[in-house]
Structure 1
Amino acid sequence: MSTSTLTDKLTMLDTIRQRQSLVKLVLSIVYIVGIVGMSIPAVRPIFQALTPLHLLFSLGILLLFHSDWSKAFIGFAVAAFGIGFLSEVSGVHTGFPFGNYIYGPVLGLKLWEVPLMIGVNWFLLIYTSGELLRRVISNKILASLAGALVMTGIDYLIEPVAIALDFWTWEGGIIPLSNYLGWIGVSFLIQLIYHYAPFKKDNALASYLLVHLIIFFAVLNFIL
């Protein structure tokens, strides 16, 4: 790639970042459409099938406004995806640390019976909640613990919706306490990595995206 081509691409990305209001509007529209689509039984299967693309869209928007692509960030990203994903693999095959459950087909391509999008979901939740809490809690350990509790609270919102939409199914149809304890433990570990990893943490879209994720599942809790 020539220097001029690279410069042009960087200029284009800077232009997009400068238009935060437009990007936020697009993000809001996508999430509103998702809520409406999931709420209408006639079109719900279409929106269920689009769930992996919705997650990738959210990931793309988040990373568009991330500026530090150092080895430290790449290491964190791999750790967040890998630890989150492998904890789910363990959960599906052994029941530890979350309990006994299986994934349905909605979240797309699976490896070891776990959708790859689950790793993306862990990364999104760690990054967005970590970015929010680092701004209000200076102590990294306390910020990590608060992040783990926030993520567990979000999972509490996600669970009924995920079950209704066939993302996953719990043994006996009951969400065990171990699920939430597991979420606190795994989330705390990855939050520590996020807060101690030496990369620039200043993403203008992270908190905005987190709010939309929470609203999405909170609203669907009342509808589904």
Structure 2
Amino acid sequence: MKPSRSNIAIFIALLFHVSGFVGMVFTPYKNWFVQNTPLNLCLMAALIIWTHEEKNLSFYFFFAIAFLVGMGTEMIGVNTGKLFGSYEYGGTLGPKFNNVPWLIGLNWVVVIFCVAAVMQKIFAWMKRKMEGQQTVMPKRIQTLSLLVDGATLAAFFDWVMEPVAIKLGYWQWKNNEVPLYNYVCWFAISFVLLLIMRWMRFQKANHFAVQLFIIQLLFFMALRIYLV
């Protein structure tokens, strides 16, 4: 039987993340693997697009919005300290615009899209469960839960990633302390992006994006144990 696009993408994502973990932790080539972070993130974004079914103009438009919002908020944060806190980016993540790596905008796209896919998966499971019990969750409760739980999940992902990113030189915080305000901003910005995504008319379900979120979360958790 011919493997699906999703299964091929999951295999590639596992290959890259497992190889990256082994390379960073157990080989003398840690710096080489760290320097190739941009390649990994660009590939994961490309795989999301490749595996997504029923792509339309709104799908690509959301990618553009999430990228621009991510870049814009990060530029405000880096240059003024009014969002996230006092921090600066290193050179690991590649070329910058106004002190923010272009790759950070793409990271916002990937994280938000994967979180939305996870929440879509959870809600589909809950819907089947409730239909079996002949109950229905009110539409407003569904939307609120999607936004709040999704934004919380995005902020949690950043919390897991932060010490690893600092250790690998992605960015640095003033006094080496990550402020609580950073996670508040992550929650608020994620909430807004998820709301925009909710409004836009395109297929939100993406099996690969769900698996990618799990893979990346486990990847950073493992690095947090071994490197931090």
Using the size of structure 1 for normalisation, the TM-score is 0.88
CA distance in 2 between partners of 1:41 and 1:99 (Å): 34
1:132/1:207 contact within 8 Å kept: yes
Q: Which residue of 2 aligns with 1:188?
A: 191
Query: Quick check: 1:68 aligned with 2:54?
Result: yes
Query: Quick check: 1:164 aligned with 2:167?
Result: yes
Q: Which has the higher contact order (CA 8 A, sep 6+)?
A: 2
Residues 105/131 of structure 1: CA separation in 2 closer, same or farther (3 Å cut):
same
Secondary structure of the 1:68 match is coil
Secondary structure of the 2:88 match is strand
Q: Which residue of 2 aligns with 1:56?
A: 42
Q: What are the superposed Cα offsets for residues 70-104 of structure 1, whole Å, 9 maximum, x if unpaired?
A: 22222211111111111110000111210010000
- Structure 1: runs of 5 or more not aligned: 1-14
Q: Which residue of 2 aligns with 1:104?
A: 90
For these two proteins, the number of residue pairs brought into alignment is 210
Residues 217/109 of structure 1: CA separation in 2 closer, same or farther (3 Å cut):
same
Answer with 63-72 or 124-133: which moved more.
63-72
Query: Quick check: 1:218 aligned with 2:204?
Result: no
1:35/1:220 contact within 8 Å kept: yes
Q: Which residue of 1 aligns with 2:76?
A: 90
Secondary structure of the 2:172 match is strand
CA distance in 2 between partners of 1:180 and 1:197 (Å): 26
CA distance in 2 between partners of 1:146 and 1:20 (Å): 25
Using the size of structure 2 for normalisation, the TM-score is 0.87
Say which of 9, 22, 25 aligns to 1:23.
9
2:150/2:191 contact within 8 Å kept: yes
Q: What are the superposed Cα offsets for residues 183-203 of structure 1, whole Å, 9 maximum, x if unpaired?
A: 111111101111221111222
Please show how residues 147-162 of structure 1 align to structure 2 within 5 Å: 147-162=150-165
Counterpart code for 2:208 = L
Query: Quick check: 1:176 aligned with 2:162?
Result: no
CA distance in 2 between partners of 1:180 and 1:124 (Å): 18
Say which of 97, 105, 108 aligns to 1:122.
108
CA distance in 1 between partners of 2:3 and 2:145 (Å): 31
CA distance in 2 between partners of 1:150 and 1:16 (Å): 34
- Structure 2: runs of 5 or more not aligned: 124-138
Aligned Cα root-mean-square deviation (Å)? 1.7
What is the CA distance between 1:116 and its match in structure 2? Answer: 0.5
Query: Quick check: 1:140 aligned with 2:143?
Result: yes
